[in-house]
Structure 1
Amino acid sequence: MAAVLGAGVAVAALPAVAHTPVWDKPTGQGNGDVYVALGDSFTAGIGIQPERSDDTGCHRSTKNFPSLVAADLDVSTFTDASCSGAVVADLATAQRRGEYDNDAQFDAITEKTTLVTFGTIGGNDMGLVGLATDCVKGDCVPAAGTDPLAREFTQLRTDLTAGIEKVKELAPLADIVVVGYGIYLPKDGCPQNFFDLVTAEESNYLQGQIDRLSDLLAEIAAENDVAFADQRLIPGALDHTVCQWDSRQWIRGLYPEGGGDGFTFHPSSAGMKATAGLVAGVVRDLRGVEPEPTPKPETTPTLKPTPKPTLAQRKAELAKKAKAVKVAATCAGTKKNRKVVVKATTAKGGVTKVVLKAGGKKVVTDAKAPFTIKVKATTLKKKLKKKSSTLKAVVTVKHSGLSTSRTVTLKRPGCVK
């Protein structure tokens, strides 16, 4: 979805376009936040009119969710660095859009930045729109036992993790909210809405890959101790997929491009509004801030609600839960079938995942209670040949929307010494 130029017209590339704040209020105005939005066309709002007057081929809409979040939170400075067609690499390098070279999205971030929305991003890396097109044109479901996107998702994990780490480096004081993708298709889709060109099986595969991307973003957010906004959890999301029509669509299905309210398989202005409400809510929850209630006349005295724990209190409770985790490795089984049993226990609760590492490499992951891992002793012996090799357990603990990991070095049980 690159900018369309006149047929046969050669346009010389202009100098790289630096990021200019959409607004920068005078000192003392706004809530003090310096907000930067990063992302692709699902963030920029391609096809939603009006676009910003100074747009440089990125198709940034004035109604995209970052603009609505910035207005809702009353931020002091807002810079929209999102750009249609962006891949993760464009966060760190200049992106060509038509005749424009837009500066790397990270260039919009400074040490004064206090809020960053990271994404949506990654959909173009795994070819989301192309995959949807393939489903329309023909069978897009791969053969059983194959995963044509395995390499893309492996690379995405590395690149997205590095991206979040870079944001933390550039803006050490900023709150970061990673934004996942939404529900584009309900279970079994709606073949009749696509002239039976997209089958139920293809719809489930397509949404499955979108969910896979959102799950990856959620995992990376948790691993890096930043917030995650899951669009799939927006109330009513299933009632506003591509299978609806007109104004009910949060994600455009068969909708005329150029209609002024989003492109096919991209958000509409209504979808952007729903996403903005979610993201602004995540930011407020992250900071322990309650939205301003609508004033109502009171006829009788009411009890004040118990205040929610502050972010500092939630972090302190999370630290207690992580500290309370105990992990032990023991030997079990017969001499011919010796096994190492690794068990994570805690009286505080909150454990969501345990990763066993031997010699610095992951051996197995357990994401279900009671978090007991069993591994053949011979398998661990091979990975722990060197005396300096260590056996470790990385335990992920969650509490009140926050997540952290604790690494515990385990004493080698007798059967792997």
Structure 2
Amino acid sequence: MHRHARRRGIPTRGGSAAVVVALALLLAGCPTARRVPEGNPDRPIEAGDRYVALGDSYTAGYLTGELDPASGGCLRSLDNYPHRIARALDLELTDVSCGGATTENVTAAQQPSRGDAVPPQLDAVGEDTALVTIGLGGNDFNVFGVLVVNCVLAGQQDRTGSPCADLVAENPESLDNIGTIRDRLVDVVTAVRDRAPDARILLVGYPQTFPATTGCAQLPLAAGDVPFAYDALVSLNSAVSSAARKSGAAYVDVWTASEGHDICSADPWIAGAVPPRPDGAPYHPYPEEQELVAGLLLDVLGN
């Protein structure tokens, strides 16, 4: 996910097909995907091992620490969870996470919203890579952007209704984008394993960005669209966890661990529309969330 979601027109009934499809596909089921070899899920990670972090802005962690001057338009923090893990385990880190990245940017170059284009993230993975973490999926089909841009804009016209959820109800015919995201993540794991057959691979889920039922000033969605947005991220995390099962990678469940710390909570670990703190970008993690993810990963790794 990128810290700057592109502004689009307010979705209306019978509006743009692209927006309707993106909304309608958030909650769709997942088709059966092929199974891939399991690789080396129990490989011990030791000091000096090579660690490559692939991901979007929830991995890059913009504003959660000092900006990595080498990250260009990707806006990576030097205190994001990959850097925290690398320091804790004394690993040789190559962090290629980038704001706005999709699963397609694993094998294709990315043009960030500012700065120069960056190479495919997979280029950082080599045969000697021991550990790879992958935090991707939320930008595919603009899933996250639809929720925090299109749905927010729709809510400005209808504060008490459910304009985004209504679009889904009125346009049930759609392709299965959530299932496609799951399959793309399986392909990402396969591509990583082809380059680093002995690497330990972890798929990182997303936190509870939105509350389950009731919004707040920092989350300006229509009242009826708050549970819709929550359910959309439940489906996204289901796609990530399913991809982990299908590919033999480990799944890191950030969703459960971040319960009670959504945008509207008393102790938010995700910044809202106008962050009151300087260490978080709109709709993106605060340092506390990055610390949480690092701890979860260290637990999985047994360190």
TM tier, shorter chain?
0.7 to 0.9
Q: For residues 62-89 of structure 1, what are the alpha-carbon distances to aligned partners after superposition, in whole Å with 9 as ceiling and x for unaligned?
A: 11111111112222x1110100010111
Q: For residues 303-335 of structure 1, what are the alpha-carbon distances to aligned partners after superposition, in whole Å with 9 as ceiling and x for unaligned?
A: xxxxxxxxxxxxxxxxxxxxxxxxxxxxxxxxx
Pairing 1:163-312 to 2, within 5 Å after superposition:
163-191=188-216, 193-194=218-219, 197-234=220-257, 237-244=258-265, 248-256=267-275, 260-284=278-302, 291=303
Unaligned runs of 5+ in 2: 5-45, 155-162
**Selected match of 1:92 from 107, 121, 128:** 107
- Tell me how many residue pairs correspond in the alignment: 250
Pick closer, same or farther for the CA change 1:106–1:180 going to 2, 3 Å.
Answer: same
CA RMSD of aligned residues (A): 2.2
Q: Which residue does the alignment assign to 2:73?
A: 57
Confirm or deny that 1:81 pairs with 2:116. no
Pick closer, same or farther for the CA change 1:189–1:95 going to 2, 3 Å.
Answer: same
Confirm or deny that 1:123 pairs with 2:147. no
Pick closer, same or farther for the CA change 1:241–1:122 going to 2, 3 Å.
Answer: same
- Distance of 1:117 and 1:177 partners within structure 2: 5
Greater share of residues in strand? 1
- C-alpha displacement of 1:134: 2.0
- C-alpha displacement of 1:189: 2.8
- Distance of 2:70 and 2:109 partners within structure 1: 17
- Distance of 2:123 and 2:228 partners within structure 1: 36
**Selected match of 2:56 from 22, 32, 40:** 40
- C-alpha displacement of 1:126: 3.2
Q: For residues 328-350 of structure 1, what are the alpha-carbon distances to aligned partners after superposition, in whole Å with 9 as ceiling and x for unaligned?
A: xxxxxxxxxxxxxxxxxxxxxxx
The secondary structure found in structure 1 opposite 2:259 is helix
Greater share of residues in helix? 2
Amino acid at match of 2:259: L
- C-alpha displacement of 1:144: 2.4
- Distance of 2:190 and 2:232 partners within structure 1: 25
Pairing 1:21-36 to 2, within 5 Å after superposition:
31-36=47-52
Amino acid at match of 2:129: T
- Distance of 2:74 and 2:261 partners within structure 1: 26
- C-alpha displacement of 1:104: 0.8
Runs of 4+ in 1 over 6 A off after TM superposition: none
Q: Which residue does the alignment assign to 2:18?
A: none
Higher RCO (C-alpha under 8 Å, 6+ residues apart): 2
- Distance of 1:116 and 1:131 partners within structure 2: 29
Identity %: 31
- Distance of 1:42 and 1:174 partners within structure 2: 22
Q: Which residue does the alignment assign to 2:38?
A: none
The secondary structure found in structure 2 opposite 1:43 is helix
- C-alpha displacement of 1:145: 6.8
- Structure 2 length as normaliser, TM-score? 0.76
Pairing 1:146-165 to 2, within 5 Å after superposition:
146-147=171-172, 150-165=175-190
Q: Is the 8 A contact 2:183 2:243 kept in 1?
A: no
The secondary structure found in structure 2 opposite 1:144 is helix
- Distance of 2:129 and 2:213 partners within structure 1: 43
- C-alpha displacement of 1:192: 5.3
Q: Is the 8 A contact 1:36 1:79 kept in 2?
A: yes
Q: Is the 8 A contact 2:218 2:274 kept in 1?
A: no
- Distance of 2:148 and 2:172 partners within structure 1: 16
- Structure 1 length as normaliser, TM-score? 0.56
Confirm or deny that 1:140 pairs with 2:164. yes
Unaligned runs of 5+ in 1: 4-29, 285-290, 292-417
